[in-house]
Amino acid sequence: MIIGLSYDLKEATPAQQDGLNDASEEYDSPETVELISAALEAKGRSVVKLGGGKEFLDNIRREKVDIVFNIAEGKGNHRSREAQVPSILEMLSIPYTGSDPQCLAVCLDKPVTKKLVALDGISTPGWLKIADEEELYQTSWDGFPLPAIIKPAYEGSSKGIRLTSLAYSVSQAQEKAQRILECYRQPVMVEEFIDGDEVTVGIIGNSPPGMLGMMRILPKTKDEHFVYSLEVKRDYLNLVEYECPVLLEQKILDKISDSSLKVFKALGCRDFARVDFRVSPGGTPYFLEVNPLPGLGSYSDMVIMAKMIGWTHQELIGAVLDAALERYPQCGHM
Ligand SMILES: Nc1ncnc2c1ncn2[C@@H]1O[C@H](COP(=O)(O)OP(=O)(O)OP(=O)(O)O)[C@@H](O)[C@H]1O
Ligand SMILES: [Mg+2]
């Protein structure tokens, strides 16, 4: 079996106003590409590296592959960027791992995703979407609970989410929102801050999808308001501890797993996904977002969780591939 590997590599980009640079944050490192490639090569399969963007277009037309293992995040800051590679593969009738373009495009748009999951009765923090500067100063903040977290509406990997992303007053919220509009050239989401436990859930498979596991992310120093921000994710070894299995009340865990599977199904996710929650002090899990293309590098949450339950990285990659292969009986099983 020949497996194509599509991916976007991190590029060197200039620092932003706050000295941090997250323009390439969602892209993968050469080490991650090598690690996934090695995992896919198990069982005598061969791997062809297809890259991303225009390089992917050239390679996918030239190479003959049975299936593409897709980790490409897509180019630009379009909310449908994760759908770019899967759309091309669908056009060329080439099988691929992971969710389809519609699911990927919807899930990168946090406000649209929240509307859809709320229809299924899943609790999600209150929010406002601000499309542009004009809307920013027309928005009524009446009764909006503070503090609020101010984040880009179409990002992942904590792009635009900093330790300073909380707003304690309307004027602070406006100022932070304005900065995101300018720096990230996309709408802003103002979200009610849920000051409680952070839990992320890994889901794998399709028939039926099952829980890989749940992991709680605990700050090492008890900050007043913990945010799993860009700074924290980059220095996770020093700043957080991971707990898996999660030591919360069983009824909270049941609710989180039930909600995660509902989200996976409602949005039409396939093969694997990671769902993020914050649990309110009263014990209600609030859905934050779903990642149908979660990171698969050694330091990604899904991989850390898999290792904590005793899986190897190779087993995780193999499980994602197997879930996809089951959807394409013509590929056979290898
Ligand atoms: N409404 C909220 N209440 C509490 N914390 C929040 C809220 N929204 C975001 N956060 C914090 O910010 C972190 C990043 O937010 P979110 O998951 O929306 O961003 P992301 O960039 O899509 O994340 P990922 O790296 O998982 O793709 C969360 O893990 C959480 O710690
Ligand atoms: Mg998240």
Render pLDDT for 26-70 as a digit per residue (tens, 0 to 9): 898 999 999 999 999 988 899 999 999 999 999 999 999 999 999
Look at residue 25 in the predicted model and tell me its pLDDT.
86
3-state secondary structure of 232: helix
Fold designation for 195-327: D-amino Acid Aminotransferase; Chain A, domain 1 (3.30.470)
Q: What is the Å distance from ligand 1's center to 288 Cα?
A: 6
- DSSP β-ladder status, 166-167 and 188-192: unpaired
In tens, the pLDDT along 119-134 reads 999 999 999 999 999 9
Contact of 270 with 86, CB cutoff 8 Å: no
Q: Which atom of ligand 1 is nearest to the CA of 125?
A: 1
Closest-approaching ligand to the CA atom of 147: 1
Q: What is the mean pLDDT of residues 312-330?
A: 96
Fold designation for 2-97: Rossmann fold (3.40.50)
Q: Is 162 in the pocket of ligand 1 (CB under 6 A)?
A: no
Residue of minimum CA distance from atom 26 in ligand 1: 157
Q: Is 26 in the pocket of ligand 1 (CB under 6 A)?
A: no
Residue 100's nearest CA partner among 304, 269, 295 is: 269
Token pair listed for 232? 């924290």
Contact of 90 with 119, CB cutoff 8 Å: no
Q: Is 304 in the pocket of ligand 1 (CB under 6 A)?
A: no
Q: What is the Å distance from ligand 1's center to 34 Cα?
A: 28
Q: Which of 158, 231, 300 to mutate to test the pocket of ligand 1 (most atoms within 8 A of CB)?
A: 158
Residue of minimum CA distance from atom 11 in ligand 1: 227
Q: Is 276 in the pocket of ligand 1 (CB under 6 A)?
A: yes
Would you kindly state where each structural domain of the chain is located, as residue ranges?
A: 2-97, 126-192, 195-327
Q: Is 278 in the pocket of ligand 1 (CB under 6 A)?
A: yes
In tens, the pLDDT along 155-198 reads 988 888 889 999 999 999 999 999 999 999 999 999 999 999 99
Residue 153's nearest CA partner among 108, 119, 200, 194 is: 108
Closest-approaching ligand to the CA atom of 113: 1
> Sorting pLDDT into bands at 50, 70 and 90, what band is 19?
low
Token pair listed for 95? 């099988």
157 Rama sector, left if φ>0, alpha if ψ -120 to 50, beta otherwise:
left
- Under DSSP, the state recorded for 88 is H
Residue 108's nearest CA partner among 214, 10, 186 is: 186
Q: What is the mean pLDDT of residues 291-299?
A: 97
Fold designation for 126-192: Dna Ligase; domain 1 (3.30.1490)
Percent of the chain surpassing pLDDT 90: 87
Checking if the pLDDT of 334 tops 70, the result is no
Rounded to whole angstroms, how far apart are CA atoms 153 and 182? Answer: 13
Which stretches does DSSP call E strand in 185-264?
Answer: 188-192, 197-204, 210-219, 240-243
Q: Is 227 in the pocket of ligand 1 (CB under 6 A)?
A: yes
Rounded to whole angstroms, how far apart are CA atoms 325 and 334? Answer: 9
Q: What is the Å distance from ligand 2's center to 300 Cα?
A: 11
Residue of minimum CA distance from atom 7 in ligand 1: 193
Q: Is 82 in the pocket of ligand 1 (CB under 6 A)?
A: no
Q: Is 305 in the pocket of ligand 1 (CB under 6 A)?
A: no
Q: Which of 77, 114, 228, 275 to mutate to test the pocket of ligand 1 (most atoms within 8 A of CB)?
A: 228
Rounded to whole angstroms, how far apart are CA atoms 69 and 170? Answer: 45
Checking if the pLDDT of 13 tops 90, the result is no
Look at residue 68 in the predicted model and tell me its pLDDT.
98
Q: Is 198 in the pocket of ligand 1 (CB under 6 A)?
A: yes
Token pair listed for 2? 């020949």
User: Global pTM?
Assistant: 0.96
Which stretches does DSSP call E strand in the chain?
Answer: 2-6, 46-51, 67-70, 127-130, 148-152, 166-167, 188-192, 197-204, 210-219, 240-243, 272-279, 285-291
Q: Is 125 in the pocket of ligand 1 (CB under 6 A)?
A: yes
